[in-house]
Chains A and B, each alone.
Chain A
Amino acid sequence: MSALTREETEALIQEVLEVYPEKAKKDRAKHLMINDKELESSKKCITSNRKSLPGVMTMRGCAYAGSKGVVWGPIKDVISISHGPIGCGQYSRAGRRNYYSGTSGVDSFCEMNFTSDFQEKDIVFGGDKKLAKLINEIELLFPLNKGISIQSECPVGLIGDDIEAVAKKAAKELNKPVVPVRCEGFRGVSQSLGHHIANDSVRDWIISNRDGQAFEKTPYDVAILGDYNVGGDAWASRILLEEMGLRVVAQWSGDGTLAEMENTPNVKLNLLHCYRSMNYISRHMEEKYGIPWVEYNFFGPTKIKESLRKIAGFFDDKIKEGAERVIEKYTPMMDAVIAKFKPRLQGKKVMLYVGGLRPRHVVGAYEDLGMEVVGAGYEFAHNDDYDRTIKEMGDATLIYDDVTGYEFEEFVKALKPDLIGSGIKEKYVFHKMGVPFRQLHSWDYSGPYHGCDGFAVFARDMDMTINNPCWNMMQTPWQQKAPGSLLKAAA
């Protein structure tokens, strides 16, 4: 059951699109759809991964954000240099809350900002010399780094610096991997291409570094791919896997290390959480090393159980029993969480607009709490993501790709959700509109949300947000019963 019927949703889309000029209207109409569970492919109904329309407010990021912020940044013992002007690195520094164990500035570098701080003269004369100097400085000051990556920002691509040459030379001198990543922000239409570029650079410079070296294997080796340990997510996932008898060799890339990544070709199975940002390297390892990969979902008990069984299906009876044991152990705990929060959340409606995975992955967790997702959309998904989304969502729900600020506000006004889950750029707009909001990129300074421990936090956070008494106190002065009372008080 959805809040609106198919016809009503259709009418809503038409109404919202009405304000656009003809051409924009035609373009945006392709990015909005009404879900139909029967569909096998999303191709005919929704267009995605296209350039955003000039003049609208989009929430997308750039390729640099996808590479430095998402894939490379969380690797804790690799120093990622934001090569170019200082802003790109500084404003994306440490905001994502990729937790790690280690000592910042000594052996872990996730939340520090390393940048070449381009000035006018670097643009005019090129920045390669500066980069080489910077790498030497890093080596001197932070000798415990295991490798360096150079994340190029827009100007570096524009002036045509040869960062590959600098990287090769430095790698030889330092005897460490130095990886040039051509992730200038102007490449591609969103951060998505940055993920791809980052994956390709890992493929070309990292993954085969230890080929042929001895490695003590077990039949139960797996790697966690596409879990960035936001608020400790990967840890909450890892304990479930270990409890069922698997050995987690690597975490990509939250709380991960270079050595873990280099050892990944030895695993039996790659577990892929965020399909969008790491399917590329999974496909590569499947082809080159014959390692199968499987997508899983650790949000909410229903999906966790499903995923544990699916993963166990790749192994022998020992692991299958392990999975059942884990499920049995945690079911009472999760039931208790549901018993506590479901009565408070039952029937509440949610709208989601997040990155490339969460709009479909968290649906199960909301449903476990008796809530209903009435609209979902992605910033930078591709059609294969929408193919996967159609199955998760209810019939006739609204799906929006790269939604504009205006459209999102209008949809919220019409659908009147009890909760919105989206990013920091949307947060305060909806707060001001008086709608409960959770920031679902970095879990709003909370987390973890993955795994069984995470579900308890997730449920508590949703309750805390929706049932917060502050939402009843937010009437604007001009809507208040006694007009002007606030104004008078202010005067």
Chain B
Amino acid sequence: MANIMIRKNDKGYVFYMPKRDIEDSIVSMEFDTPEKWGGEIKLGNGGAYYIEPQSAPARLPYSVRARRIDGVE
């Protein structure tokens, strides 16, 4: 588990992990509705993380715990 920060730019969600200074675009997010948000997220670099599905944050950027599923550190 690691802390990540999700923000939005003109192209969509951006993933940022402070601990390792990794910034990347989020190419897909499993759930993206106001009630259910999160799940598996896929990054531009091929990595995948999992965020416990929850109601969408009121404001971005938003820090949340995420679990690494696959690939890139």
Q: Give the Cβ gap from A56 to chain B, nearest Cβ, in Å.
A: 23
Determine the distance from Cα of A41 to Cα of B45 in the docked complex, in whole angstroms: 7
Q: Which residue of the partner chain, among A43, A196, A283, A290, contacts B5 with CB atoms under 8 Å?
A: A283
Q: Which residue of the partner chain, among B16, B18, B45, contacts A43 with CB atoms under 8 Å?
A: B45
CB contacts (< 8 Å) of A382 on chain B: these are 21-23
B1-21 CB contact bits vs A (8 Å, 1 = yes)? 000010100000000101001
Q: Please provide the chain A residues from 182 to 211 with a CB less than 8 Å away from any CB of chain B in the complex.
A: 192, 196
When the two chains form their complex, are residues B72 and A43 in contact, meaning their CB atoms are under 8 A apart?
Answer: yes
Q: Please provide the chain B residues from 51 to 68 with a CB less than 8 Å away from any CB of chain A in the complex.
A: 59, 61-63
When the two chains form their complex, are residues B63 and A287 in contact, meaning their CB atoms are under 8 A apart?
Answer: yes
Given known A43-B72, A384-B23, contact A283–B44 (CB-CB < 8 A)? no
Given known A49-B21, A280-B18, A383-B22, contact A287–B61 (CB-CB < 8 A)? yes
Q: Does B24 contact A (CB under 8 A)?
A: yes
Q: Does A38 contact B (CB under 8 A)?
A: no
Q: Does A40 contact B (CB under 8 A)?
A: yes
CB contacts (< 8 Å) of B59 on chain A: these are 290
Q: Does A286 contact B (CB under 8 A)?
A: yes
* Interface majority SS (helix, strand, loop, mixed), chain A: helix
Instruction: Count residues on chain B whose CB falls below 8 Å from chain A CBs.
Output: 16
Determine the distance from Cα of A280 to Cα of B61 in the docked complex, in whole angstroms: 13
Determine the distance from Cα of A383 to Cα of B23 in the docked complex, in whole angstroms: 8
Determine the distance from Cα of A156 to Cα of B24 in the docked complex, in whole angstroms: 35
Determine the distance from Cα of A280 to Cα of B62 in the docked complex, in whole angstroms: 14
CB contacts (< 8 Å) of B63 on chain A: these are 287
By beta carbon, the residue of chain B nearest A280 is B18
Q: Give the Cβ gap from B11 to chain A, nearest Cβ, in Å.
A: 10
Q: Please provide the chain B residues from 20 to 59 with a CB less than 8 Å away from any CB of chain A in the complex.
A: 21-24, 44-46, 59
Q: Give the Cβ gap from B14 to chain A, nearest Cβ, in Å.
A: 10
Determine the distance from Cα of A382 to Cα of B63 in the docked complex, in whole angstroms: 21
Determine the distance from Cα of A384 to Cα of B23 in the docked complex, in whole angstroms: 6
By beta carbon, the residue of chain A nearest B47 is A43
Q: Which residue of the partner chain, among A40, A196, A283, contacts B7 with CB atoms under 8 Å?
A: A283
Q: Give the Cβ gap from A406 to chain B, nearest Cβ, in Å.
A: 28
CB contacts (< 8 Å) of A283 on chain B: these are 5, 7, 16, 18, 61
Determine the distance from Cα of A248 to Cα of B72 in the docked complex, in whole angstroms: 40
Q: Give the Cβ gap from A363 to chain B, nearest Cβ, in Å.
A: 21
CB contacts (< 8 Å) of B24 on chain A: these are 41, 43, 384
A194-231 CB contact bits vs B (8 Å, 1 = yes)? 00100000000000000000000000000000000000
Determine the distance from Cα of A382 to Cα of B21 in the docked complex, in whole angstroms: 8
Given known A41-B44, A41-B45, A43-B45, contact A286–B61 (CB-CB < 8 A)? yes
Determine the distance from Cα of A43 to Cα of B62 in the docked complex, in whole angstroms: 25
CB contacts (< 8 Å) of A192 on chain B: these are 21
Determine the distance from Cα of A406 to Cα of B56 in the docked complex, in whole angstroms: 52
Determine the distance from Cα of A287 to Cα of B63 in the docked complex, in whole angstroms: 8
Q: Give the Cβ gap from A103 to chain B, nearest Cβ, in Å.
A: 38
By beta carbon, the residue of chain B nearest A384 is B23
A49, A196, A383: residue with the most chain B Cβ atoms closer than 10 Å = A383
Q: Please provide the chain A residues from 34 to 63 with a CB less than 8 Å away from any CB of chain B in the complex.
A: 40-41, 43, 49
- Please list the 3 inter-chain residue pairs (A to B) with the smallest Cβ-Cβ separation, ordered nearest first: A384-B23, A43-B45, A287-B61
Residues of A in contact with B (beta carbons under 8 Å apart):
40-41, 43, 49, 192, 196, 280, 283, 286-287, 290, 382-384
Residues of B in contact with A (beta carbons under 8 Å apart):
5, 7, 16, 18, 21-24, 44-46, 59, 61-63, 72
List 27 interface pairs A-B (beta carbons < 8 Å), by A numbering. A40-B44, A41-B45, A43-B24, A43-B44, A43-B45, A43-B46, A43-B72, A192-B21, A196-B21, A280-B18, A283-B5, A283-B7, A283-B18, A286-B7, A286-B61, A287-B5, A287-B7, A287-B62, A287-B63, A290-B59, A382-B21, A382-B23, A383-B22, A383-B23, A383-B45, A384-B21, A384-B22
